[in-house]
Chain A
Amino acid sequence: MIMETFEEKCRLLNYELYLLHTISKSIKESLDENRILSVMLTGLTANVALGLSRAAVFYYNKEKSVIYGKNGIGPCSKEEAGKIWKDLGSNSMSLETYLVHNRAENEEKDQEYPSRVRKVVINMEELPPENYFRRVIEEKRLFHLKSLESPEDLPGEIKDLFAPSDVIILPLSTAKNMRGIIMADNAFHRKEIDESTVLLIFLIAIQAGLALENSSNYGIIRKQLEEMKELKNTMESLQEELVQKEKLSTVGKMASYFIHEIKNPLVTIGGFARHISDSEDLRTVKRDAGIIFKEIQKLEQILGKISNFTFLSPSRVEKVNLLETIKEVAEFFGLECSRKKIDISIDIPENLKVTAEKVQMTEVFFNIISNAVENTSNGKIHVSSEINPPFVSVRIRDTGKGIPESSLSMVTEPFFSTKSEGFGLGMYIVKNIIENNGGRLEISSVEGEGTEVRANLVI
């Protein structure tokens, strides 16, 4: 007899552990708040599990001192109860399937009880100290109210939910947060809620509390992650946009140079065309036509140069002549250099070539020389080269104002600028281009004495 009781106890314990494990696992698997609540409610009321008649969750809002109904499961009357249990009896599902199937979510639409739960709003401050809802919140403990025939000491607001039964009221909480109240009963079938069931309810409530905490942490982290991702995307597209704009400003500067180049022949052509139209002397007409012809040839040459020099040419890696490229760029800054009394000299062998995209090399030297011109007046800019296989080191040295030591490492960072114009992307672009072509950029500077930029490019 004793043996049988012991075996019985073991079996029961095993079953309880199984229940606890299965329901906890199901709860913990979800990060969705509503899903957690509905799995817990399903577990509490499932016939194959704890077999309580009904269960409800109320949330507690501490700031507003309000308790409000969140979700519930179960019948409202004996008739409804009979129908549900009959339906469930014909369905032989395992607990796991049952939890996955999730009774709360499926039956919610047809049931009166959940919608009654959701109508409940209780003002905590109006509850007398002995009211169990108040005591659960304040004392954070479970109450097992046996054979309750009337909702005395329960809030008046839940009288529509009440049916004579044993009622369990307990906190839904974590160590830090009081989330709310779970209320469960054995209405209609009145099967006794024994102590081990009460313990299981308590443990399941703890799991649910933890899962809710996880869910809200996860929610916060996910939201932050999404915000970060969005911010990152915005930053990237902004940076991309600015790099494009900086490139456009380079193009703009170059365009003004070519406008000058084109304008001179046009002025001459137009002027001599007027001459011709006013002239009756055949010799003058012939001479002027000859001039116009020469100027048109010049224009054709300039157009050829533009397609070589600027961004119109197709991008392809080739052997780029350094002297030609740097001369073209320096010529562009000629006027600015004489305005600022800068003596610009280039000492590079005629046939020295690097492997790169011509357009990109133009951009590199344009940005470096542009900075040198910007920071120098009454001084010198000297461009020279040195071969250190596998690199050609192109050295651009100016006698300008130099860069303070504290800023030197930031020069190639995006958005670093000492100028009021531009976006501070010039040297950032230079560094990227050089490194993408397998080279290296070095900058040294002494404030007040000048700057030396070394572009190490692959031969």
Chain B
Amino acid sequence: MAKKILIVEDEENERILYAEELEKEGFEIKAVPDGTVAVALVEKEEFDLIILDLQMPGLDGIETLGKILMKKRNLPVIIYTAYPQYKDQFLTWAADAYLTKSSDLSLLKEKVASILK
């Protein structure tokens, strides 16, 4: 059965891009635009991995991460952001990986594959 990934990203076009690229890799993808929706979804559905943006309106990446981990402590999370500078803080916090956004998605795909292998 295909592994299930939740993408939390407020930029619509980025959501489409990541979803299509990861579907090509054989994953089942759900993509949502904000943290509140993501937290609600995580309660209802089982996911194998979350890909989380940091800067979002409403519930941002940090709060979303906290709320998700309170419910599903062992759910792997990849922070995927344009900010390179918070890496250390988030890795000690709880995220499994911290990647800086790039138009070349190969690094993201590699990380996803290695976490879900």
Q: Give A residues with C-beta under 8 Å from B.
A: 256, 259-260, 263-264, 266-275, 291, 294-295, 334-335, 338-339
Contact = CB atoms under 8 A, between A and B. Distances in A.
B36 interface: no
Interface residues of B, number: 23
Given A260-B82, A263-B82, A275-B20, A295 B13 contact: yes
Contacts of B81: 260
B88 interface: no
Nearest to A287: B16
Given A264-B101, A268-B103, 5 more contacts: A260-B83, A266-B103, A269-B103, A271-B14, A338-B63
B60 A334 contact: yes
The secondary-structure label for the interface of chain B is: loop
Contacts of A267: 14, 17, 82, 101-103
B50 interface: no
Interface of B: 11, 13-14, 16-17, 20-21, 54-55, 60, 62-63, 81-83, 85-86, 89, 101-105
A230 B105 CA distance: 58
For A259, A266, A295, A338, which residue has the most chain B Cβ atoms within 10 angstroms? A338
B40 to A, nearest CB: 19
A264 B60 contact: no
Contacts of B54: 335
Contact of B105 (A266, A271, A294): A271
The 8 closest A-B pairs by CB, nearest first: A270-B103, A263-B82, A271-B17, A260-B82, A268-B13, A267-B101, A338-B60, A291-B13
Contacts of A272: 13, 17
Contact of A335 (B11, B13, B83, B102): B83
B77 to A, nearest CB: 16
Given A335-B83, A338-B60, A339-B62, A268 B11 contact: yes
Given A264-B11, A264-B14, A335-B62, A259 B82 contact: yes
A268 B18 CA distance: 9
26 contacts: A260-B55, A264-B101, A266-B103, A267-B14, A267-B82, A267-B101, A267-B102, A268-B103, A270-B102, A270-B103, A270-B104, A271-B14, A271-B17, A271-B105, A272-B13, A273-B103, A274-B103, A274-B104, A291-B16, A294-B13, A295-B13, A334-B55, A335-B54, A335-B60, A338-B60, A339-B62
A382 to B, nearest CB: 20
A339 B54 CA distance: 10
A291 to B, nearest CB: 5
A338 B82 contact: no
Contacts of B62: 335, 338-339
A268 B17 contact: yes
A338 B55 CA distance: 10
B4 to A, nearest CB: 22
A114 to B, nearest CB: 75
Contacts of B105: 271, 274
Contacts of B20: 275
B107 to A, nearest CB: 12
B58 to A, nearest CB: 10
Contacts of B11: 264, 268
